[in-house]
Chain A
């Protein structure tokens, strides 16, 4: 294929000078919206995602409620200006699928049985997309749930690993996703060693899958550490005053 960029240089570094096992620069901030019960802004390099949580609150319709637990409603959505070409704001098949896998991941962490007959709403907006938007969105949504005070088994930390030019790398960006051989988003409840989101888009051998999973776990523990730091920071600010 012509015009395919070199993803791993001769020095073994990636197109943005990262080592294969290096995350992009990550920023996290909790409590960024006034109206939402919980919110968070998360950036992985140029990928920028905001998440808001409302609830537990009354579901919009009676048929939606469960006598056993809170229902979880989740939307992963990309802003029209977040992509290289304007994205239609109507939900795409991709967004429908990602909303589902993200909802299931979050639902496995929330103690929904504490709030029967109610709804917990999670809204994720991708503001700028440069690869890893679902994992950044899941990371942000889990912070927003914590910020809303909704009891959870653990935070969910997530990152995408990939295979580019035959090398397994951490936290792939859009260019690496587009021209690489595989993209594998992974989300975990790190304290419980539970993988709650896993997709593989691409081809890997059994051995490569092992290597990719190990690298993902390593990255996830770093993302988890940053999440805890971001949560603490919200309460540190007042002490410094």
Chain B
């Protein structure tokens, strides 16, 4: 069951400062309406145990993604495809408002939105991940770990997932004989078949203004939020609106801005991946 979250109130002065800055065309942290916070991408911070990993900082929001790959039986309805699964954990060390326990609706939502964007865009060619149809295929587990929460977890998580999947390597397939596979999990081998990159761009509406990349205060104040998934071909590969309502023209503006700003994230990602 989904329940209205009871949030600690934002002090009135802080709220007024945010809104009055917006009226002057600025944000409290000095950004323009369409600016991202500073972004850093660190590749493979978990080199020994994960098949691929990335640490992304979006302002003070910090996301670690680890990819684990193993051989499993494919789903019966998709015998000639590998499996991709995205999960997210909002662990209690990331925020005073998080409690230990199974993923709550916010973590589930983030994971599912990213899962859909990757799946629908066919970012990873799951057909190349089959070893013996119906029997063996590669299962890719993309686990999102929120370490520090300062808003816009989705965009940071998508970026970290995409970076980790790009650097991830399959364990070495030693042999396939008589329907038996031998895997050397200790040796990293081929790269994942990443066909195109996907990013998400999130915007919120506060007091009638549409802002890119909200920090936590802005997110709590927001009347509505919309996340748009964009692939490297400029196509829309997913949308998720949350919170309250937006007019059709506000949505169109958000989608246009997302498409435009996705280029920045994709360029940043490609630049980081070149350093490998």
Which residues from chain A sit less than 8 Å from chain B, CB to CB?
A: 63-64, 66, 69, 71-75, 93-94, 96-97, 99-104, 107-108, 112, 182, 184, 188-189, 192-206, 209-210, 213, 217
Contact = CB atoms under 8 A, between A and B. Distances in A.
A206 B260 CA distance: 12
Nearest to A208: B236
Contact of B236 (A93, A101, A204, A217): A204
B248 A195 contact: yes
B4 A72 contact: yes
A72 B236 contact: no
B4 A96 contact: no
Contacts of B244: 104, 107-108, 194, 196
Interface residues of B, number: 37
Nearest to A184: B239
Interface stretch (B12-20, B42-50, B104-112, B139-147): B104-112
A193 B248 contact: yes
Given A184-B239, A204-B236, A64 B247 contact: no
B243 to A, nearest CB: 6
Q: From DSSP, what is the main secondary structure of chain B's interface residues? A: mixed
Given A94-B112, A203-B121, A107 B4 contact: yes
Contacts of A101: 109, 240-242
9 contacts: A66-B4, A93-B112, A101-B240, A200-B236, A200-B238, A200-B239, A202-B120, A203-B231, A205-B235
Contacts of B105: 96-97, 99-100
Chain A to chain B: the 8 pairs with minimum beta-carbon distance, closest first: A194-B245, A200-B239, A108-B244, A99-B2, A198-B241, A71-B4, A103-B2, A75-B1
Contacts of B242: 100-101, 104
Given A97-B112, A206-B236, A198 B2 contact: no
B3 interface: yes
Contacts of B237: 202-203
Contacts of B247: 193-195
Contacts of B4: 66, 69, 71-73, 103, 107, 112
